[in-house]
Structure 1
């Protein structure tokens, strides 16, 4: 992956830099030669060298490190920063997809039957700690740089700490028991994981928030407001509601993108998932993806999502990440244009399950939220400009994983020459991976206000998100000519889209429990298929109930959820990878502890 500000001619391997010294054997031995391409501390203890190291720390955001296998990992999807496996498949947004024989470790994660030997967890752990290492190397070398001003050093320190905070935030929410390793521990990195690291994550984001400028000259770099948003989200995860509110009040009234645009929802929901409209006013912090940029890299696009395109389709691969019926049902709206908060599955969306693509099928005509058709690819509805989704013929095994296809990660046909990355065996794209977007911020602010009892303020935030959903620009429209999908769209909606705001005073009248239920459901709708769901229901304490209900419903539709179960508190966090525990031996004892239940 290349970012727009990444102009490095080479990639600096943090582990090599951290070592500094290579051999101290006989000076005449050929074994003493420094490996070609290696760099010493002296090489990078300059403004230019530190700048290259910082580029390397940003580059680790995409989870690929140019080649996951180079650090002993597996496929790019195992470390995808979108967390599509760990956040969405595990949380009921999506089925694994494909068929039963393909990528079986994901099936274990999807059904809650994973254990510490699952290699996917080890890959994710190593990739995130590689990002930590890259930031620690920068912070360890920075004091010795002599050709930088104090201000320049502070900015680099702040960006490095922002990135380190991100990597640790991901580790903490996934694995809970995580060792803290910072720039003072590069020699003795085998640290215990029996201390809560939230305070240290807070400290990194706090420093970044206080130090970074409001805007940046280069797209992709973190600014003050991105750091503040991460800090606020860290408070939310710890239920520090008063602290979170203080920050959200500032972010929602003063926050700007790194380019200087005021944070605002885009008019079109889909703009957040389109390479042609990336880095817009809703992008708080995003991983910059690119394609066909002449860099010569094997793969510049988002390879973490390379499996997640309809099967037997123009994309070539691979049929994974199929939205669930439970998720599709959630977009039903009632007579008020509101969601069915308690019984969405009692109002199932009509699907083409078990219907051949050659047989007649009419899509559901009952009211739905238009976000459905930007999130879930379903038969008879335009699949961007690739034509109406044909149903079963684009699904590898419908009985196994259902009738739907993912959509938010898919590029358009008309500009694929710019935004499709064809350099690997499966598709990549230049669609940015937005780690935090403004709609997420508004819903976190709503949750914070509701937790503090400020129900009218909470409803105002939620209605901002719903107002955008109701905007006619957020609807999907039928083609002017179905036989020519790139010929443009008509003014006829593709489905019966009905969505409305919560009436004035509804949250206050119904009370806090209702408000929180509505806010949580809105997060399900707005952020579906974005790797958030599992982590949300865990932090809310509702995971056991939600997943038990989901498994009972969805397992009657597809065959992929046999034996599925959620066991609390075991499944509330993923296991510390057994391989990492085995490698943590120090003075004859294991440094790392395992999470409860494994």
Structure 2
């Protein structure tokens, strides 16, 4: 099957787009650095396009910290209580304080995440300047390229805004000596983000030459998301209504939900009708970093050939996340018990094999569960993709530290090894599965939220939410044992019949976003924008800390520290009078 590999096409020109050259009367003394390109080459059509591809490649944060990519496995999912770091206490210890909400301004991973986002912005700005200077581009190509670059710039600033809140805003007009050295950090950048997304929405085509490029509808969906984060629900509702009605992928497919939930997370099905905007991955392109290398740590911990990756045991789903898939009459448990989620009550908790050896008997949970649990979480005794039934403790590096579960969504299939994986690196875990920054189920749920909060129709919101639930209820997607063909659990899921109030609808919407988008890097940001982070995350820490004492014992979530600290390394460079630290650090 043909795949579209933007990252594979990253050329030397993209790495050289930022080289400055200076005129000199003694031109024979002017020798360009090895590998650099002259301005005439950079402003050629190939030069500008190559620089733009370089901006796309920054989505994967290659050559920066493992946690800086746009999938936000640390910043969205671990901080959101869906997963913990996993592995053991001595591996990637820099994450240990972060997952306890004890982030420090001197964290190298926080600084690396900051740097990665601004690298993407620098490449987008360079693309815009080159496009404006180029005489080789047609008017249509110039407009398209600038629109793509502004879309990417908006994405990186959107990421910075929700990670750090107050950040410096630098556009293509700024450079050293032209004001860049005087730019301080400010929280007031939403208008600039919206302007870039709006320009992209107004000027990008509906289809593109490569499936991974942003198109009009990706820009529209992202604009709606930005408006939703600002609480501009009526405006978000208007744009989402249009995107749902008319949106299509860059390769021309009408937006829709793929029939089986698990096919969203299968490299053989990349760039499907649900892919609104994705980081493209490729293999055998000369570098394993062109795969989804940002997920290479996040496989079950195993050292044999009966499981994927040979490494590393990170990103283990939490007890709380597993429990959230409990259903009653096919619906989630939306109530609370003594201020804690009802699904974490002892009578509702999902049975697990914590501290049970793989050689010891274990009987799986037979209570009713949302079927998405077994596409999201690796559980003992349940078929793990097309590998084997999850063996439990043998695939966990340290259960007492990180619990009994394994990640599952972004793991490759056994049948794909060496065809959709790149085994030329230190591990077999370099796969070519795209990461969807925005997928259509996310759009439907954002559209439902805009309806609920923007004075729209609860019936329309109900319809959007039930589209997502009905796809999950497709029996063809239920996990079955490969040997016997029997269902692996008691899967019971049903649509909602009605919402009596906006408050009831929002409770259902919030739960649905967790169930559908779990481990995809959204949860923490949702909790912060809803104002739910202090209550929900402290309840999570209290619950997990009862068992995972080494990891979470005594951990506290501090109200007012919903954003990461500004990296001290950046303050040291620019000065504390210009770059102000966030409150609480």
Shorter-normalised TM range: over 0.9
Q: How far apart are the structure 1 equivalents of 2:556 and 2:24? A: 55
Residue number in structure 2 paired with 1:52: 50
State the TM-score, normalizing by the size of structure 1. 0.92
Distance 1:496 1:546 in 2: 28
Please state whether the residue corresponding to 1:12 is helix, strand or coil.
Answer: helix
Aligned in 2, Cα 1:384/1:175: closer, same or farther, shift over 3 Å?
A: same
Is 1:20–1:39's contact at 8 Å kept on the other side of the alignment?
no
Partner of 1:431: 433
2:55 aligned with 1:94: no
What whole-Å deviation, never above 9, does each CA across 1:197-230 have from its counterpart, x for those lacking one? 1100000000000001111122111110000000
After superposition, the C-alpha distances for 1:32-78 in whole angstroms (9 at most, x for unaligned) are: 532110123232112121111111111111111xx33xxxxx4xx22
Alignment of 1:279-428 (within 5 A): 279-292=271-284, 295-313=285-303, 314=307, 315-334=309-328, 336-342=329-335, 343-346=342-345, 347-426=348-427, 427-428=429-430
> 1:561 aligned to 2:555?
no
**Within 1, Cα distance between the matches of 2:75 and 2:244?**
29
Q: Does the CA-based 8 Å contact 2:288-2:430 persist in structure 1?
A: no
Alignment of 1:90-489 (within 5 A): 90-187=79-176, 188-190=179-181, 191-292=183-284, 295-313=285-303, 314=307, 315-334=309-328, 336-342=329-335, 343-346=342-345, 347-426=348-427, 427-453=429-455, 454-480=457-483
SS state at 2:366 partner: coil
Contact 1:17 1:40 in 2 (8 A): no
C-alpha displacement at 1:154, in angstroms?
A: 0.5
Give the one of 489, 492, 500 matched to 1:495.
Answer: 489
Q: How far has the Cα of 1:474 moved from its partner?
A: 2.0
Aligned match of 2:338: none
Kindly report the root-mean-square deviation, in angstroms, between the aligned alpha carbons of the 2 structures: 1.7
State the TM-score, normalizing by the size of structure 2.
0.94
Q: Structure 1 stretch 516-525 or stretch 456-465: which is displaced more?
A: 456-465
Q: CA deviation at 1:143?
A: 1.9
Structure 1 residues 566 and 144, CA, compared in 2 at 3 Å: closer, same or farther? same
Indicate conservation of the 8 Å contact 2:86/2:316, yes or no. yes
Deviations 1:7-29 (A, max 9, x none): 64733355x53342269698777
Aligned residues: 565
Paired residue secondary structure (2:168): coil
Following superposition of structure 1 onto structure 2, how do residues 9-48 of structure 1 map, counting pairs within 5 Å?
A: 10-12=11-13, 17-21=17-21, 33-48=31-46
* 1:297 Cα deviation after fit: 2.5
Alpha-carbon distance between aligned partners in 2 of 1:179 and 1:363, rounded to the nearest angstrom: 51
**Structure 1, unaligned runs of 5 or more:** 69-73, 482-489
String of CA shifts for 1:117-139, please: whole Å, max 9, x gaps.
Answer: 11111111111110100010111
Tell me: CA distance 1:594–1:549, structure 2 relative to 1, closer, same or farther (3 Å). same
Structure 2 gap ranges (5+): 336-341
Instruction: Determine if contact 1:248/1:445 at 8 Å carries over to the other structure.
Output: yes
Tell me, in whole angstroms, the C-alpha distance in 1 between the residues paired with 2:405 and 2:133.
55
| Mapped pair 1:544 → 2:534 | yes
